[in-house]
Chain A
Amino acid sequence: MAPISYHLILSGILFTIGVMGVLLRRNTIIIFMAIELMLNAVNLSFVALARHLGSMDGQLIVLFVMAVAAAEAAVGLAIILMVFRNKETINADELKLMRW
């Protein structure tokens, strides 16, 4: 039997890979995918803990996370479309509206 810490560490590794993707890539779609990766990493730890504790609550949380992720993907990708239409680019470092 793989101990619970193995699952959790795997989840941490996947999460960190997602973080690195968000920070290192300029393409907003890739960044978006990295965020999905982070969400999935967290899902993994939820499911592992639910199994470990013998409680269904963790699985239900994952269900809600999936629903939120679906909503986020729909809206987020729509925003990326809009940005591309207006700015002709989806590179994160070329979108500098959030400054003084």
Chain B
Amino acid sequence: MDLLTFFMLAVPLVLFAAVVILHPSPVYSAMSLVVVMSFLALYFFFLDAHMLGWFQIIVYAGSIMVLFLFVIMLLNLQNDPQEHQQPSLRTASRIGGAVLIAELVFLFSRSSSSEKAAAELPEGFGTVVALSEKLFTDFLIPFEITSILLLIAAVGAVVLAKR
């Protein structure tokens, strides 16, 4: 991914992410999140994660966000004019956030100094074949466990929502 592409993707990502947490309307937040997800999918394509990019669109931007919107609709949430955190917590959070971003940037830029050149990509990196080969050999047991987790989550959600 060249620098131009990076910034063309990174800037909208950050902007829409900011909209997600700043916009008073939950619907706008959700829609912004869908945009973030889509940009991330693009981002994945450029990072040679083709399969994951499609998953990102289907699972996140598709099903999960639809779930969010559905719940927002169910609860019929309006813009809350009093949607403000208590001042002390707000201040403290802002300071905390500033320190966090400072720390992370410091950490990552420091690690870049000892950066090695990117490794050679093997044939078919990020394709369905490569992904599923790993998934059904080395990661078979986590994969099966994940399927059980999903089943439990589905049952749990039904039970919770029915009560």
CB distance from A12 to the nearest CB of B (A): 3
* CB-based nearest B residue for A29: B26
Residue from A3, A12, A43, A50 within 8 A of B104 (CB atoms) = A12
CB distance from B123 to the nearest CB of A (A): 11
* CB-based nearest A residue for B76: A84
* Cβ contact within 8 Å between A24 and B93: yes
A6 to B108, CA, bound (A): 8
Residue from A23, A59, A72, A81 within 8 A of B85 (CB atoms) = A23
Residue from B68, B86, B101, B130 within 8 A of A77 (CB atoms) = B68
User: Do A70 and B63 contact each other (CB < 8 Å), given the known contacts A3-B112, A24-B93, A47-B49?
Assistant: yes
* Cβ contact within 8 Å between B118 and A14: no
- Point out the residues of chain B lying under 8 angstroms from A2, CB to CB: 1-3, 5-6
* Cβ contact within 8 Å between A66 and B101: no
* Cβ contact within 8 Å between B108 and A51: no
* Cβ contact within 8 Å between A81 and B160: yes
User: Do A82 and B17 contact each other (CB < 8 Å), given the known contacts A5-B111, A63-B135?
Assistant: no
A52 to B115, CA, bound (A): 10
Inter-chain residue pair count (beta carbon < 8 A): 233
A4 to B114, CA, bound (A): 11
Residue from A29, A33, A66 within 8 A of B77 (CB atoms) = A29
A31 to B60, CA, bound (A): 16
- Point out the residues of chain B lying under 8 angstroms from A47, CB to CB: 43-44, 47, 49, 52
* CB-based nearest A residue for B124: A56
8 contacts between A and B (CB under 8 A): A1-B118, A16-B97, A23-B97, A44-B43, A51-B49, A63-B52, A64-B146, A70-B59
Taking A17-B21, A19-B96 as known contacts, 13 extra A-B pairs with beta carbons closer than 8 A to each other, sorted by chain A number, are A2-B3, A2-B5, A2-B6, A13-B14, A14-B17, A30-B21, A37-B33, A53-B119, A56-B130, A56-B131, A73-B67, A75-B160, A77-B157
